[in-house]
A and B are shown apart, each in its own frame.
Chain A
């Protein structure tokens, strides 16, 4: 059967056999072997390090983040003292200004050095967060203000009044909580 020979070599087909015989010279040499090159074997080797490589990125990124944070903090400290101008711009947070400035101090503090103010005028404005950091880190400089006896007395009275008020508030709070608890129990 002709068709069978073409499909599974059963029977015979002269024309197909003739073509087979003619084309046999092009067939694959079955004695040829594949030589595995040395370079090709390298990627096949299993490596413990290769398997866990992604895990190494985590500590590396933490270290990088820590270095970046440290550098940022260092930079903010360096720029701090030269930004005295912001302190002088806002008199409330200035280290030279007294906390209670509605009373006139007995001895006037010496004025802040002029060059610092001029310098600050040319400084670029920093972000708010940086300002706060800078202001917190500025050490208090200059002479401490001296208060009169009246001022000290007024300050003591104010502290006393505040403490009494806080006691009263505490009592009211306890009372309110107790009433709440009683109502819940009922």
Chain B
């Protein structure tokens, strides 16, 4: 009896330790490999904002949802090529960037609707203007700023999801923000 209790306690401890070691992404991956489609939906919920932001930093807003869908579809098809659960974020980011390149490769050059169109739609005009300014920034800054300002992620969250170091994210945020303020003519109120 005592032995059973001890064994049970040992199993409990092992399970707790396994949960501590294995991040939720790893458990999700396990479930996906066993054919649980709901697990992939959960993974989508975790990483969709990041993928959305990475794409939005590069393409017009209208195209983002379709490309994001293609990204997750490609990820679903190629999940077996993913070995480390910790690299899901960078892996999805790479797929997203490749999908954007593919999008620009196959799409015909179009003229972006700018001032005349956007100013007629007042609530959206300002947002379009800011997004256009972000698009004009170096892509590393644009990506981090979109994740921060549009998707509402904090710096540490951005670092965790994208696989960048926190220092890199911090530098990208501050330099990007400085450039964006210059572009939009916003003055820093406090120094």
List residues of chain A with CB under 8 Å of any chain B CB: 2-3, 6-9, 13-16, 19-20, 22-28, 30, 32-34, 36-37, 40-41, 43-45
B83 at the interface (CB under 8 A from A): no
Contact of B151 among A3, A9, A27 (CB under 8 A): A27
Please indicate the chain B residues that have their CB under 8 angstroms from the CB of A30 in the complex: 45, 48-49
Please indicate the chain B residues that have their CB under 8 angstroms from the CB of A45 in the complex: 35
B10 at the interface (CB under 8 A from A): no
B149 touches A19 (CB 8 A): yes
Contact of B150 among A24, A37, A40, A43 (CB under 8 A): A24
Closest Cβ of chain B to A7, distance in Å, is: 4
- Chain B's closest residue to A12 (CB) is B190
Task: List residues 140-180 of chain B with CB under 8 A from any CB of chain A.
Answer: 148-152, 154-156, 170, 173-174, 177, 180
Contact of B127 among A22, A43, A44 (CB under 8 A): A22
A20 touches B44 (CB 8 A): no
B44 touches A16 (CB 8 A): no
For the complex with contacts A33-B45, A36-B40, 19 further pairs of A-B residues with Cβ separation under 8 Å are A3-B174, A6-B148, A8-B154, A9-B154, A19-B130, A23-B127, A26-B64, A26-B127, A27-B52, A27-B151, A28-B53, A28-B68, A32-B65, A33-B44, A34-B44, A34-B48, A36-B41, A37-B73, A45-B35
Closest Cβ of chain A to B61, distance in Å, is: 5
Please indicate the chain A residues that have their CB under 8 angstroms from the CB of B123 in the complex: 25
Contact of A36 among B45, B76, B150, B151 (CB under 8 A): B76
How far, in whole Å, are A9 and B154 apart by their CA atoms in the complex? 7
How far, in whole Å, are A141 and B156 apart by their CA atoms in the complex? 97
The secondary-structure label for the interface of chain B is helix
B12 at the interface (CB under 8 A from A): no
Closest Cβ of chain A to B168, distance in Å, is: 13
If A7-B170, A28-B52, A40-B77 touch, does A2 touch B37 (CB 8 Å cutoff)? no
12 contacts between A and B (CB under 8 A): A6-B173, A6-B177, A15-B186, A16-B149, A25-B123, A26-B127, A28-B48, A28-B49, A30-B49, A33-B41, A34-B69, A43-B77
Produce 1/0 per residue, B109-128, CB < 8 A to A. 00000000000000110110
A28 touches B73 (CB 8 A): no
Task: List residues 49-108 of chain B with CB under 8 A from any CB of chain A.
Answer: 49, 52-53, 56, 61, 64-65, 68-69, 72-73, 76-77, 79
Please indicate the chain A residues that have their CB under 8 angstroms from the CB of B155 in the complex: 6-8
- Chain A's closest residue to B50 (CB) is A28
Closest Cβ of chain A to B132, distance in Å, is: 12
How far, in whole Å, are A23 and B151 apart by their CA atoms in the complex? 9
How far, in whole Å, are A23 and B126 apart by their CA atoms in the complex? 9
How far, in whole Å, are A36 and B151 apart by their CA atoms in the complex? 24
Please indicate the chain B residues that have their CB under 8 angstroms from the CB of A8 in the complex: 154-156
- Chain B's closest residue to A34 (CB) is B44
A27 touches B152 (CB 8 A): yes
